[in-house]
Chains A and B, each alone.
Chain A
Amino acid sequence: MNFKSRNIVSIWDFTKDEVEFILDSAEEMVPIARGEETNTALSGKILATLFYEPSTRTRFSFESAMKRLGGSTVGFADPSGTSFKKGETLADTIKMVDAYSDVIVLRHPQEGSARLAAEFSSKPVINAGDGAGQHPTQTLLDLFTIRQAKGKIEGNKIVFVGDLKYGRTVHSLAYALSMFGPELNFVAPETLQMPKEVVEHVTACDTKVCSGNKLEDFINDADVVYVTRIQKERFPDEAEYQKVAHIYQIKNTLLQNVKDDLIIMHPLPRVDEIAPEVDKTPHARYFEQAFNGIPVRMALLKLVLGVS
């Protein structure tokens, strides 16, 4: 399987076999990501990180991934003070950065910006989030986390809870999961349910789907609960937001009858969807999930740079 020079723009660009291959490669990166082994596979290579929107987790984990493999990074964490503020187009910035680096990571507020950047770059472009658009490395690290905890993705009952309407990360993950055939349960208030086209797509892929609005109805059978934040900025007004704001809160009392090996995931940052007391239970996986961003991104950097 050849990934050299490929862009990582959307999870759609990958087949199931390719996804598995990336996850296998990420598995091998874990000891290096933990600092237990050293590695210089990417020494002499430069990663450009262009963050037109703030991000802590994603940017740190890309930089850490590159450095763990002996490479170095250039870039910016917010666009003030760059030529973007002077009105430079993304296309022009990319053409310049293309000459200064071997691989480019881009986060940008406009949807489709990574696809555009890839058109203007001769170096591989990795999408680190384009507005409400795609965030494929997040999807991959979510898949990695499920596979790592469960041994495989298929056969699990996966419950999504929270804002399933607006969060495109959740849509991408549901689509990606449907390649593997787990059972998906969508738990959300009616106004925030999974969009019809996502449900139709995953059902067409032979994925069993069940929807509801009470987490209690689903959690005791679940193998994985994927929690998302209900984001205030998505709502037209405060009143609408308040109606649904704090309806899902995972506390230890809710976990009394769950499966022993249930895992709880969250893309973080959380607000009050998961009480801190849950962190100490064996179900909490969100910090490992965040860590998994590093081995997954290491694997991707190596693959697109054609270094084995």
Chain B
Amino acid sequence: MKKEFKVTPIQNGTVIDHITEGMALKVLKILHITGTGKSIVSVAMNVPSEKCEMKDIVKVEDRELEPRELDKIALIAPNATVSFIRDMEIVKKHRVNLPDMVDGILRCSNPNCISNKSEPVEYKAVVTNRDPLTLKCYYCDREQEDVVGNII
């Protein structure tokens, strides 16, 4: 079977496909991929997809993402799929999954929130709506503004 690749096939690593159009760079931000590491990163934007929509794709060589990192992607690209590649073949593929409660991956957009002070707690937010995405801080109850900008 012939495989067609928009970007170079990779030997080992992670492919994030079906990223909401225009979100590829934000996915990189969430994953703290700054281009200063050793692994090769390929980004394809505005790729036509089977469903006639546009999508972005990110491929990261030699790195398999952790579930916690996958949750972060779901915040901005709810339809993304993640495939782990070993020896050119897909060994595992998941759809990212936004949990009902998101923890640790954001900071509260309310500067007066106790979770932004030096208390020994991780930020927690409740997902109050999935489409469009709305989050509410578990501590201060405020609806979160600029979710992407507050990803840590």
Contacts and interface: CB of A to CB of B under 8 A. Distances in A.
Interface of A: 10, 12, 89-91, 108-113, 115-116, 119, 130-134, 197
Contacts of B133: none
B68 interface: no
Contact of B115 (A10, A112, A131): A112
Interface in B99-119: 108, 110, 112-115, 117-119
A108 B117 CA distance: 13
A131 B119 CA distance: 17
Interface of B: 108, 110, 112-115, 117-121, 137-143
A108 B120 CA distance: 17
A90 B119 contact: yes
Contacts of B118: 89
B117 A110 contact: yes
Contacts of B115: 112, 116
Nearest to A111: B140
A109 B114 CA distance: 9
Contact of B112 (A12, A89, A131): A131
A91 B141 contact: no
A91 B121 contact: yes
B141 A116 contact: no
A132 B112 contact: yes
Contacts of A133: 140-141
A307 B121 CA distance: 32
23 contacts: A10-B141, A89-B117, A89-B120, A91-B119, A91-B120, A91-B121, A108-B114, A109-B112, A110-B112, A110-B113, A111-B110, A111-B113, A111-B139, A112-B108, A112-B115, A112-B139, A112-B141, A115-B114, A115-B139, A116-B139, A132-B112, A133-B140, A133-B141
Given A111-B140, A112-B139, A133-B141, A119 B121 contact: yes
Given A115-B139, A116-B139, A90 B112 contact: no
A134 B141 contact: yes
Nearest to A109: B112
Instruction: Please indicate which of the listed interface residues B117, B137, B138, B139 has the most CB atoms of chain A within 10 Å of its own CB.
Output: B139
Contacts of B114: 90, 108, 110-113, 115-116, 130
B121 A116 contact: yes
Given A116-B139, A133-B140, 15 more contacts: A10-B141, A89-B119, A91-B121, A110-B112, A111-B141, A112-B108, A112-B137, A113-B139, A115-B114, A115-B139, A116-B115, A116-B119, A119-B121, A130-B114, A130-B140
Contacts of B142: 111
A113 B138 CA distance: 11
Contacts of B121: 91, 116, 119
Contacts of B113: 110-112
A108 B113 CA distance: 11
A130 B142 CA distance: 13
Contacts of A108: 114
B38 to A, nearest CB: 38
